[in-house]
Amino acid sequence: MTILLEAKNLSKHYRLSHGETLRAVSNVSLVVHRGEALALVGESGCGKSTLGRTLIGLGAPSSGDVFFEGERISGLSDRALRRWRPRMQMVFQDSSSTFNPRRTIGDTLAEPMRIHGRTGIAERIGTLLEQVGLSSSVLSRYPHEFSGGQRQRLNIARALMLGPDLLVADEPTSALDVSVQAQIVNLLRELRNSLGVACVFISHDLAVVRQMADRIAVMYLGRIVEEGDVLAVLEAPAHPYTRALLDAVPRPDRPLPPPLKGEVPSPIKPPQGCAFHTRCPLAQPRCSQERPELDRVAEGRRVACHYPLP
Amino acid sequence: MGADALLKLHHLHLELPNGTPLLEDVSLTVRRGDALGVVGESGSGKSLTAMSVMGLLPSLKASGSIRFEGRELLGMKDREWRRLRGVGMAMIFQDPMTAFLPVRSIGAQIDEQIRLHEPVSRREARARTVALLGRMGVPDPEAAAKRYPHQLSGGLRQRAMIAMALSCDPALLIADEPTTALDVTVQAQILTLLCEIRASGAGVMLITHDMGVVAQTCTHVAVVYSELVVEQGPVAAVMARPLHPYTQALLEAIPPLDGPRPDALPTIPGRPPAPDARPEGCVFAPRCRYVRPDCAVRPALREPEEGRRVACVLYDA
């Protein structure tokens, strides 16, 4: 598999007032292969959305680099980045706020191609509407006339207008009902297969992630704590946090194990040592002093834990 | 039934002033020590049901009956409502940020509720507030009571709201999507808390869209679709063997967390009808895979098995 996008030691810090620093993403290295789906999962504030945006140049990293097809795209000027924009596009969670309510769907879908001076717009729109399962009668209508599921289909169609190689989808199904969610999950899978577009899929829902992704990266307080094949990781998590996340999903078939104590600490003052040690049921004295590195434990599997689960 | 029923909705209808029916023929029962999960998708009427029980929809026309501890609630006066809310029944909402007043500390707001219903001093009220917050698992409850809603995390705010709801020891707790805005690990904590409240003898009515949440916290479940109850029964039985085609489809649409990964998830074609465009017959018929001619008549709830009810012609003998 060829590498499409690579991040090296990527960090994104925000300076706050009072001289404090919010470390949203710290020292993340990852790769996205051509055509693969990588899921970024974690709880609110773990930095998954910030990482997703920083990967495709929506906001410059504080340090570290991003390479697209081997060329460095971090640190480029907005103007220089423009050449890369059609190659990577974003799908946002809330489809009701990403459309201009005063413009017709046809107008909105055409905009990316107009901006990049493409021709054959009408044809392209026709092809994509068919691919996302909508008819061309939608073109003269306005965003509010659609249901959440239909709007999410349009949102995806718009992101695909320029034929990107990489799609970053931030919680694309979280605002949807479960029956509609299943439709969008299926659609994204089909599109990935037919178009070969790679996908960075940001989600907090492990069941949806398992259905959609090839690989998974679990984040906690701005760092990746576990990474690997999605089925392998969810079958046997090696990091206690991944285990806890998986156990906390309410399921019809078994009772909830005792929940994790406490809540995610503030990313302004992350704990010393392993950031998870304050909530970890298996923490040892070493965990509060020494931060574990994200080490390779098996082929394609990395874990940041001094005492990984078997 | 009868004596042990804490809350009993009987053929409840709810209408907009223009005559558009919202809830149709909803019959539900919550007993002491039971938790009833009301589950459905957006717009299915699950929140309307909860709000009508609390008397929060005075401008809608209601008929049928809502009995709480044997007493009819429909047509009750505002003064009587005020005595009942908080003491007899209390409600917690999805978003505690908007349920609390932002300009007063959460302790002051809980104190106020206690003093409104009981003749206790400020000091006694605060002592009870602090004890309650502690029982809800809020660390350092004394300091937490002095904080404003925005100074607490989402999980702590939700705990504070549950503390406020329980401050006058209500017999019935209604929770409308109490964990939807929370992360899973915090959700698990709140669900454990709800289970403890139920185990202590209160009745719980939990409104949610998440079948997993119902399975974890409830003893009984009612599935609503297009403002109608289509199936109800004990949680374990319904989860293991759903009877109504809608319940079946809803459970199948959840991606599995173990076992083989399907190429495509089963979906439900189409979407629910608007309240003013409901079909004459079974409301789910246009999307149902088993649809047949006799679905053209609205099916009543039948009881194919002891304790289980389903509105579907498939279960006619």
Please give the average per-residue pLDDT across A126-138, as a whole number.
93
Give the pLDDT score at B1.
42
Closest by CA position to A26, among listed A213, A229, A274, A300: A274
Please give the average per-residue pLDDT across A5-15, as a whole number.
96
Residues 25-44 of B with CB under 8 A from A: 41-42
Domain ranges, residue A86: 3-303
Residues of chain B with CATH 3.40.50.300: 2-88+170-315
Whether the CB-CB separation of B307 and B238 falls below 8 Å is answered with no
Domain of A275, CATH number, reads 3.40.50.300
Give the pLDDT score at A252.
77
Contact check, Cβ <8 Å, B254/A178: yes
What are the tokens at A303? Answer: 């874990």
The verdict on B151 touching A (C-beta cutoff 8 Å) is no
**A62 falls within a domain:** yes
Give the pLDDT score at B209.
92
Which residues of chain A have a CB within 8 Å of the CB of B245? none
Give the pLDDT score at B3.
45
Please give the average per-residue pLDDT across A62-70, as a whole number.
96
Whether the CB-CB separation of B183 and A204 falls below 8 Å is answered with yes
What are the tokens at B46? Answer: 């699950």
Give the pLDDT score at A258.
84
Long-range contacts of B129-134 (CB under 8 A, 24+ apart): B129/B163, B129/B167, B132/B163, B132/B166, B132/B167, B133/B107, B133/B159, B133/B160, B133/B163
A88: burial class by Cβ within 10 Å (0-12, 13-18, 19+)?
Answer: buried
Question: Could you write out the DSSP letters of every residue in B161-228?
Answer: HHHHHHTT--SEEEEESTTTTS-HHHHHHHHHHHHHHHHTT-EEEEEES-HHHHHHH-SEEEEEETTE
Give the pLDDT score at B12.
94
Q: Which of A44, A96, A152, A177 would you mutate first to test chain B, the one with the most B CBs within 10 A? A: A177
* Cα–Cα distance for residue pair A160/A169, rounded to 1 Å: 12
The verdict on B261 touching A (C-beta cutoff 8 Å) is yes
- Interface ipTM: 0.86
Contact check, Cβ <8 Å, A234/B210: no
Contact check, Cβ <8 Å, B271/A208: no
Tell me: the pLDDT tens digits for A184-206?
A: 999 999 999 999 999 999 999 99
pTM as predicted: 0.90
Give the pLDDT score at A62.
96
Count: domains in chain A:
1
Give the pLDDT score at B277.
87
Contact check, Cβ <8 Å, A178/B249: no
**A152 falls within a domain:** yes
Whether the CB-CB separation of B265 and A186 falls below 8 Å is answered with yes
Pairs across A and B, CB distance < 8 A: 112
The CATH number corresponding to B2-88+170-315 among 3.40.50.2300, 3.40.50.300, 3.40.190.10, 3.40.50.1220 equals 3.40.50.300
Please give the average per-residue pLDDT across A99-111, as a whole number.
95
Q: In what helix (H) or strand (E) does residue A27 lie, and over which residues does it extend? A: strand A21-33
**A309 falls within a domain:** no
pLDDT band at A33 (very low <50, low <70, confident <90, very high): very high
Q: Which of A183, A185, A201, A263 would you mutate first to test chain B, the one with the most B CBs within 10 A? A: A263
Q: What is the mean pLDDT of chain A?
A: 93
Whether the CB-CB separation of B312 and B246 falls below 8 Å is answered with no
Kindly list the averaged pLDDT for each block of 10 residues, start to end, along chain B of length 317. Answer: 76 91 91 95 89 90 93 92 91 85 95 93 96 89 94 88 92 92 86 91 94 94 94 95 96 92 91 87 94 94 94 89
Over 50: is that where the pLDDT of A45 sits? yes
**A274 falls within a domain:** yes
Tell me: the pLDDT tens digits for A217-257?
A: 999 999 999 999 999 999 999 999 999 999 999 887 777 88
Chain A: nearest CA to B113, how far in angstroms?
27
